[in-house]
Every structure is written in structure tokens, then in C-alpha cells.
Chains A and B, each alone.
Chain A
Amino acid sequence: MNGVMSWRVLAPYVFVAPALVFVGVFLYGPVVFSVVLSFSDWNFIHPDFNFVGLQNYRRIFADPNFASATWNTLLYCLGLIPAQILIPLGLAALLLRVRSPWMMNFYKGALFLPTILAYSIAGVAWLWLFDPMNGFFNVVLTALGLPASRWHTDPDLALWCVTLVTFWKNFGLNMLLLFAALISVPRDVLEAAEIDGASPWHRFWTIEVPLISPTFFFVAVTTVMNVLDDIVGTIDVLTGGGPFGQSSNILYYMYQRGLGFFQFGQASASAVLIIGLVMVVTWLQFRAFERKVHYGS
């Protein structure tokens, strides 16, 4: 009996232990180790481990590439976060008006399809469209008598090419999530508002959007992460952060410092700054949504 009792007490920990071990070793462990490395001069070329204080932080703050990567991160956020939330919201509202189930499935499937592609495959497909020599876009521009563009190899356009491909690859999931939330808004609430004379536009913003706020919150949190993190794959395939660092972001900068130049200390220092940034952004989002999210049924 005693053995059975102790198994009942221990069993939950046995169930959760493997998950905790993996999360601890492969996610929390490296983050903690990064904090330590950020204050040291250790790397493959320099195997003696010495604490160097804030030297790595000073180095990256003095690096113009870090400054431009930070600025680009801001541009990516300003361009992509509204686009990846508001456009899918509008599309989800339009999907609600589609009556034919066949058309509805076609639109949902077609708009979601890029989401299943690998970042490298999506990148390669767009590289071919952008190709300055024989790519589709320049062929069209030339045929129309317009000057050809250098697209992702143009320092002024590279960032916007990455933005476009990232949007293309990711907006479909947000659209589906928001659509599923909108369709579950009770019809009687909307009919009551219609009888009260509220316009469709007004109804949408004052009734439907607040009612789907839990989904909105989820979409907002995942989109911010997506714009910071998943974009790294697109950057690597499309531009490699170039030309002249014009399309890099802070995570890509960190990746290049660490595994391109093997500057572990500087990479770790930027990792620590990124962790700080993510924590602040996540906290702000929770604060902003805490009071506004409606969790009724």
C-alpha cells in the first residue's frame, strides 16, 4: 500500500520530468551559459576563459553593424506587425461573407499554403522571381518599358524584399486563427447591434473585435516573436543580411557574430540584450492586454 501511495505522489513528476529535462538542457541551459559567456573572452580561437567585464557589450555598442541591425529590427517590426495582424483580420472578415463552402475552402487553403513551405524553399522561390537577370519581375518591368530593379541586391530595397517574403509566408496562419474566432461570435449579439442601427464597420470594431480578444492576444504575441525570430531564416536565404548589413536584424547579427566570426563573447552579449528585449516586450503585451482581454463565452 505504501509503495502504491508513493508512486501516486511521484507519478506526476515522472510524467513531466522528460519535458523539463529537455527544456532545461537545450533552452534554459544555453541562455544561462550565454549570460556567463557575455562577460568572458572565451571562444574556439582563444580557449583561455577570462572574465572581461563589460568589454563585449562595449564592443557591440561601438559596432555600426549592431546599430543598423537594431534599426532594421525596428523597421521590420513597424512594417510587419501591423501588416501581419490587420491584413489577416480584414481578410478573415471578408471570408465570413463567402457563402459557397467550396470557395471558402479554396481561399483558406490557398492563403494558408505558403505557411507550410520551408523558409529556404520560400526564399528560393522568391529569389527566382527577384532575380535581376532573368527573374519574372524584371522581365515584366522591361516588357512594360520600365527600368529593371535590383530587388534584394539593392541596399534600399533588400529590407522590404525580406518584409514581403516574410509577410507572404506567415499571414495565412493569423488569418485562419482570426477567422475561427470571428465565426464563433454569437449571431444574436450581432443581430441585436444591427437592430440598434450600428453600421457594419462600427459593429466590427466595437463588438466582434473585443469578443475575439483572446485570439487577438495570442496572434499579437506570436506575431511579435515571428517578426523577431522566424525572419532570420528568410534573411539568411534571401540576402544573408546584406547588402552592407542593410537587411540584417539583431538575431541575425547575433548569429553572424557567433558562428560566422566565432566572436562568442559578443554574440552572447547581444543574446543577453535580446533576451532582455523579449522579456520587456512580453511583459508589456501582458500588461496591455490584461484588462482589455475579454474571457467570457
Chain B
Amino acid sequence: MAFKKFTPRKKYCRFCASREILLDYKNVEMLKDFITDRGKIIARRITGNCAKHQRVLTTEIKKARQMALLYYTVTHSADVKKKTT
């Protein structure tokens, strides 16, 4: 038992597991799970998404950024602007 390795929980693709989750740029709360606090898209190595869904996810996140539903970077976010002015 001395050398028992730490085994992390198996990651799985959330969108493959449930067809209910709509992968859509309007579903901002869901997209927020896949970006960091700074607004960067989290690698699928970390989230466990499959390649197919990660591809769709990135384009949807980028659409949401275009429409000001998500920020590109924190320094551009409306919250930061409010604090500085």
C-alpha cells in the first residue's frame, strides 16, 4: 500500500454524456464553465471534452465574445473599466 498512486477521477466529455446541454453561444452560463477567470478557453486536456465538441465549443465561445456576452480578457471587461473610472 505504500506506493499507491493517486488516481484522478476519470474525465469525460459533458456534451457526449448529455444531449440535453445545448452547445450554443447564447448559453453563456454554460460557456463560463469552460473559460478561466481571465477569459481564456480551457484546454480539453483539462476539461476532458472530446475533440469534436471542443472544436464547436471554441467557435461558440468566440461568437459570444463578439457579441459582448463574454469578455476577451479581464482588462477589457466592463467591471475593470468601472473601477478605473
- A and B are interacting partners: no
> A residues within 8 Å of B by Cβ?
none
